[in-house]
Amino acid sequence: MLGRVVKGIGGFYYVDDGKRVHMGNARKNLKRGKSIIYVGDIVEFDLRQEDGDCIITKVRERKNFLSRPPVSNLDKLVVVFAAAFPNPNNLIIDKFTTAILYNNIEVIICITKPDLVSENDLKELVSTYDKAFPVVVVNGKNGDGIDRLYDLMKGSNVALAGPSGVGKSTIMNHITGRNDIETGDISDKTARGRHTTRHVEIFSIDNDTHFYDTPGFTSLDMPRLDRYHVRDYFPEINAFKGCCKYLDCIHVDEPECAVKGALEKGEISKTRYESYLSILEEVKKWQK
């Protein structure tokens, strides 16, 4: 039989075969090393006749996987951050999107708490990212923007990621139609949120859309990129590939650089470009 692992707690796995969810465990050889089972895995399993529980016998090849949190086969990752309280950290966001794209996952940008900033500040925040990724503004209080976000997610395996306290669980409740996914308050001392999700679990919104609820999904490790490949993970910069005078242009101080020209025209966000330069400097240090 074939199914998707939708939850794993204490060595037990829950496998959805499309008709029902079976609880069970895995063969010993699937519990260690590279054979470890991730939520999101497509697995082959047998049913025990005595109790109907399942035994996972094989993990099908993955499209991708992340070790923290342990999930696999993601199509899209929604990067959620608030317009304010907590204030967005653009460099952290841009490192995050770089790591996501490196792992063969599409990025959706979701900005919450739009009512806490001016209309002009919100427009500027949107314009920072809309040349690179789909951007949606969501108001968790009244649900504005949820339908647009769902349209972007539909037909995909999707997770939400971002700092605590930006409204990820509230978005989850809106999209799934549930009201039992715990939401957290902002800490008065840190102006950050408190983690409320404690294990990874997949909720099926429809037959083709699967929503990963994940604990503490606030960052990903930066991949060890070559300095000539950083540009590949900034879509608005990579769009000018082949347009510069030099094919190996990394868009810093080379003459006749198409990216620098686009930056001057406002076709590329200055904030994003500064993040690109910061990541490039980090990569150079790694390569020394």
- Please enumerate, by residue number, every residue annotated as part of a binding site for GTP: 112-115, 162-170
Amino acid (1-letter code) at residue 262? A
- Long-range contacts, stretch 139-145, CB < 8 angstroms, 24+ apart: 139/112, 139/113, 139/114, 139/115, 140/112, 140/113, 140/167, 140/170, 140/171, 140/174, 141/115, 143/174, 145/110
SS3 (DSSP) at 52: coil
SS3 (DSSP) at 96: helix
Closest-CA residue to 283 (of 132, 93, 65, 95): 95
| Token code pair at residue 151 | 């349209």
Annotated binding site: 112-115, 162-170, 244, 249, 251, 257
CB atoms under 10 Å from CB of 117, counted, come to 18
CA atoms within 13 A on the CB side of 143: 8
Strand locations in 27-94, DSSP E? Answer: 42-47, 54-59, 65-66, 71-72, 76-82
For 17, residues 6+ apart whose C-beta sits below 8 A from its C-beta are 1, 2, 3
Beta strands 21-26 and 54-59 are parallel
Annotated binding site for Zn(2+): 244, 249, 251, 257
Looking at the DSSP assignment, which residues form a beta bridge with residue 157? 210
The answer to whether the beta carbons of residues 217 and 69 sit under 8 Å apart is yes
